[in-house]
C-alpha cells in the first residue's frame, strides 16, 4: 500500500508492518525534522536496528551520494526491508542503502536474540536466556562500530540506535568513533529489556561530551522505552 502521509508519502509499504508507518504517525514529526536536518547529500548514516527500513528510507531522501549502513539482524525484518527496496527502486539512489544482516555491539561476537516469525519491533537482544526455548532464539554475528570503522566502513556523521536492549554495548563499542567523529545520535533506550540501561547510556554519553535531550512521549510512549537526541558539545 502507498504511505498516505509523512515524509515517505507515496512510498509503497508492506501491510505486514505497523500501520502507523502507512498513516505517517510512527514517529514525532519534530524528531523526524531534526533527524533530516542533520543529513546532507554526502552524509554517512549508521541505521542500527533498521527494522524494515523506515529511517533508512527517510534518510535516503537527503543522502544521495553518501551511504546508509542499515544493520538489521532479524531475518523476517530483512525480508520485508528487501521487499521495500524492490517496491521503491525508482525512488532510491542506487547503492546508497547498504543492508548489513548483522547486529552491532561492543565487540565481534555471536549474540542471541528472542525471535518471532512476524515483523515486530520487540525481537530483542537477550542477556537472560533462561526463559527461552531453542526455537525462540536466533544467533547473530555482531560487530563494534569502532572495529567496522577501523576495517574500512566510512566514519559516521549520524547514528540512529534502536537496538532493543543492546544500546549500551553499541555505545561502548563506539567510544573511539564518538570521540573522534562526534556524530549526532538518535537513541532509543529500553529499560523494559534491561533495567537501568537508560541511565548508563546517558552517563556514558555525558562523559564523552554529549548533550542529551529527551524527545518526550509520542507514538511509543511505553513504560521502559525512551527516545533521546544527543549532540556533542563541540556542535552546540
Q: For residue 216, give Cα distances in angstroms to 27, 48, 176, 196, 231.
A: 11, 21, 29, 18, 16
- Rounded to the nearest 5 degrees, what angle is found at the Cα of 119, between the Cα atoms of 113 and 123? 20
Q: What pLDDT is attached to residue 102?
A: 94
**Share of the chain residues as helix, strand and coil, in percent rounded to the nearest 5:** 30, 25, 45
Q: What pLDDT is attached to residue 233?
A: 96
Q: Does residue 31 lie in a domain region?
A: yes
Q: Does residue 222 lie in a domain region?
A: yes
- CATH of residue 67's domain is 3.40.50.150
Q: What pLDDT is attached to residue 119?
A: 45
Number of structural domains the chain divides into? 1
- Burial class for 162, CB neighbours closer than 10 Å (0-12, 13-18, 19+): buried
Q: Does residue 118 lie in a domain region?
A: no
Q: Does residue 169 lie in a domain region?
A: yes
Q: What pLDDT is attached to residue 25?
A: 81
Residue ranges for the chain with pLDDT beneath 70: 114-136, 217-222
pTM, two decimal places: 0.91
Q: CA 134, 113, 195, 214: dihedral to nearest 10 degrees? A: -160
Q: What domain range includes position 181?
A: 27-109+139-235
Q: Does residue 159 lie in a domain region?
A: yes
- The x, y and z cell numbers of residue 191, run together, are 529499560
Q: What pLDDT is attached to residue 231?
A: 98
Q: Does residue 162 lie in a domain region?
A: yes
Element (H, E) at 44: strand 44-48
Q: How many CA atoms lie within 13 A of 78 on its CB side?
A: 13
Q: Does residue 99 lie in a domain region?
A: yes
Element (H, E) at 48: strand 44-48
Q: Does residue 17 lie in a domain region?
A: no
Instruction: Supply the DSSP string of 90-128, one letter for each residue.
Output: GGS-TT-EEEE-SEE-SSSEEEEEE--SS--TT--B-S-
Amino acid at each position: 500500500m502507498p504511505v498516505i502521509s509523512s515524509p515517505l508519502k507515496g512510498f509503497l509499504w508492506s501491510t505486514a508492518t505497523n500501520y502507523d508507518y502507512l498513516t505517517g504517525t510512527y514517529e514525532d514529526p519534530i524528531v523526524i525534522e531534526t533527524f533530516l536536518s542533520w543529513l546532507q547529500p554526502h552524509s554517512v548514516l549508521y541505521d542500527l536496528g533498521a527494522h524494515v527500513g523506515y529511517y533508512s528510507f527517510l534518510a535516503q531522501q537527503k543522502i544521495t551520494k553518501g551511504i546508509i549502513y542499515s544493520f538489521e539482524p532479524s531475518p523476517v525484518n530483512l525480508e520485508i526491508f528487501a521487499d521495500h527496496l524492490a517496491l521503491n527502486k525508482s525512488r532510491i539512489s542506487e547503492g546508497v542503502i547498504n543492508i548489513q544482516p548483522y547486529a552491532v555491539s561492543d565487540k565481534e561476537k555471536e549474540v542471541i536474540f528472542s525471535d518471532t516469525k512476524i515483523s515486530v519491533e520487540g525481537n530483542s537482544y537477550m542477556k537472560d536466556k533462561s526463559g527461552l526455548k531453542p526455537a525462540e532464539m536466533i544467533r547473530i554475528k555482531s560487530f563494534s562500530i569502532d572495529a567496522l570503522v577501523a576495517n574500512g566502513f566510512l566514519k559516521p556523521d549520524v547514528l540512529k540506535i534502536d537496538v532493543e536492549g543492546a544500546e549500551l554495548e553499541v555505545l561502548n563499542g563506539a567510544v573511539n568513533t564518538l570521540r573522534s567523529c562526534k556524530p549526532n545520535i538518535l537513541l532509543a533506550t529500553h529499560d523494559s529489556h534491561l533495567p537501568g540501561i537508560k541511565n548508563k547510556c546517558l552517563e556514558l554519553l555525558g562523559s564523552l561530551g554529549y548533550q542529551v535531550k529527551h524527545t518526550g512521549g509520542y507514538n511509543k510512549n511505553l513504560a521502559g522505552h525512551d527516545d533521546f537526541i544527543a549532540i556533542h558539545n563541540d556542535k552546540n
